[in-house]
């Protein structure tokens, strides 16, 4: 990219504890519009908590979160009415894809995708179905529109979940280990969809251990350990010449 894009995500001094377990201990990073940033780090380092804090599924204790120009400053205490309004705005601009898919089991693939269109966006059923079909087609699942999640493979479920996220026309997509629950043979179908989204310029923050994806697609790799960002660098330097011993140790582990 040769023009400097604005920040889509900016996190400053983010802290979050559960009781006396300080999980995020001052996290800072930014993601520019159209960037793909991969977050890596050992289990328990706070990656999920960070992602969930970005759209306030977890309430951060202190720090600043800015998503798509909407800024919430936390300094302990309760959320003000103004904060709540901003959080709704952030959620409207953000989609989240979970490790565990989180589809409605008693709704078909198509109904899972159109649910938000009719209930949140108030789009009429016929148009929602049309949009839903074109999104399912985009993730390669038009033929599965009327199947229930129980009859889909993990990779297909995850692609339905991505289509559902896209239905809300997000400006940012947060992925939390989207392929970790999948058999290796099913991962690639999901990664192909993610690669296409990246190519189309979607802003993506992706927690993943998929090395190839990170090497090919990421603009940067943010490495977290112990609730802080240890390194934030280009994939080539992260994988080929990691400066930190903690990164080297981590890469050794995930490389098997």
Please give the residue ranges that form the binding site for ligand ADP (CB under 6 A): 18, 21, 23, 41, 43-49
DSSP result, 37-75: EEEE--TTSSHHHHHHHHTTSS--SEEEEEETTEEEEEE
Total interface residues for Mg ion by CB under 5 A: 2
Interaction of residue 208 with Mg ion, rule CB under 5 A: no
Which among 44-52, 73-81, 139-147, 152-160 is the span making contact with Mg ion, rule CB under 5 A? 44-52
Q: In degrees rounded to 5, what are phi and psi of residue 74?
A: -105, 135
Nearer to ligand ADP, 39 or 191 (CB): 39
Going 213 to 98 to 13 to 5, the CA torsion angle's sign is: positive
Residue 93 binds what, of ligand ADP, Mg ion, none (CB under 5 to 8 Å, by partner type)?
none
Which three-class secondary structure state does DSSP give residue 99? coil
With respect to ligand ADP, which residue has the nearer C-beta, 49 or 114?
Answer: 49
Pick 19 or 122: Cβ nearer ligand ADP: 19
3-state secondary structure of 187: helix
Report in angstroms how near the CB of residue 23 gets to ligand ADP at its nearest: 4
Q: Which does 112 bind (CB under 5 to 8 A by kind): Mg ion, ligand ADP, none?
A: none
Report the distance separating Cα 81 and Cα 78, nearest Å.
Answer: 10
Cβ atoms of 203 and 8 closer than 8 Å:
yes
The contact pattern for Mg ion, residues 45-84, with x = CB under 5 A and - = no contact, is: --xx------------------------------------
Paired sense of beta strands 203-207 and 36-40, if any: parallel
Query: Where do contacts with Mg ion occur on this chain (CB under 5 A)?
Result: 47-48
């Amino acid at each position: 990219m040769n023009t400097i894009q604005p920040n889509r995500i900016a996190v400053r001094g983010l802290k979050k504890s559960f009781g006396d377990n300080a999980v995020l201990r001052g996290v800072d990073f930014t993601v520019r519009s159209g960037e793909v940033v991969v977050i890596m780090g050992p289990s328990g380092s706070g990656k999920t908590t960070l992602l969930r804090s970005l759209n306030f599924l977890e309430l951060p204790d202190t720090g600043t979160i800015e998503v798509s120009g909407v800024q919430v400053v936390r300094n302990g205490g309760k959320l003000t009415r103004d904060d709540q309004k901003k959080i709704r705005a952030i959620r409207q601009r953000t989609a989240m894809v979970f490790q565990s898919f989180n589809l409605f089991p008693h709704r078909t693939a198509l109904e899972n995708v159109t649910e938000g269109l009719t209930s949140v966006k108030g789009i009429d059923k016929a148009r929602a179905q049309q949009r839903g079909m074109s999104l399912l087609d985009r993730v390669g699942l038009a033929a599965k529109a009327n199947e229930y999640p129980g009859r889909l493979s993990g990779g297909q479920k995850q692609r339905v979940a991505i289509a559902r996220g896209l239905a809300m026309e997000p400006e940012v997509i947060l992925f939390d280990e989207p392929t970790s629950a999948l058999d290796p043979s099913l991962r690639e179908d999901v990664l192909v969809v993610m690669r296409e989204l990246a190519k189309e310029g979607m802003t993506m923050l992706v927690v993943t251990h998929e090395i190839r994806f990170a090497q090919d697609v990421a603009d940067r790799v943010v490495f977290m350990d112990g609730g802080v960002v240890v390194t934030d660098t280009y994939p080539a330097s992260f994988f080929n010449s990691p400066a930190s011993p903690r990164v080297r140790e981590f890469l050794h582990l995930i490389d098997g």
